[in-house]
Amino acid sequence: MAKSFEDNIARLEEIVSQLERGDAKLADSLKLFEEGTKLAASCGKMLDEAEQKVVRLTKGADGAPVETPFDTEG
């Protein structure tokens, strides 16, 4: 089962904390770093997918809502 964005971020925060403490053996640190980079890439992909789905609702000339892509000015 795929983990949620929030689960991935929580795990990434744990990894950062462990690496910042600096008390892990080198081999363990490398494994944590590898896991962290995979989680960061996964979170980036999730954010990209979410951004593509985001739209801005504006009021059209007739008063009806109009969807426009999030990244356009309007």
pLDDT per residue as tens, the chain (74 positions): 678 999 999 999 999 999 999 999 999 999 999 999 999 999 999 998 887 777 777 777 888 888 777 665 54
Q: What's the pLDDT at 1?
A: 65
Q: Show me where the domains of the chain are located.
A: 5-69
Q: What's the pLDDT at 67?
A: 78
- 13, 35 Cβ separation under 8 angstroms: no
Q: What's the pLDDT at 53?
A: 74
Count of beta carbons in the 10 Å neighbourhood of residue 20 = 8
Q: What's the pLDDT at 73?
A: 53
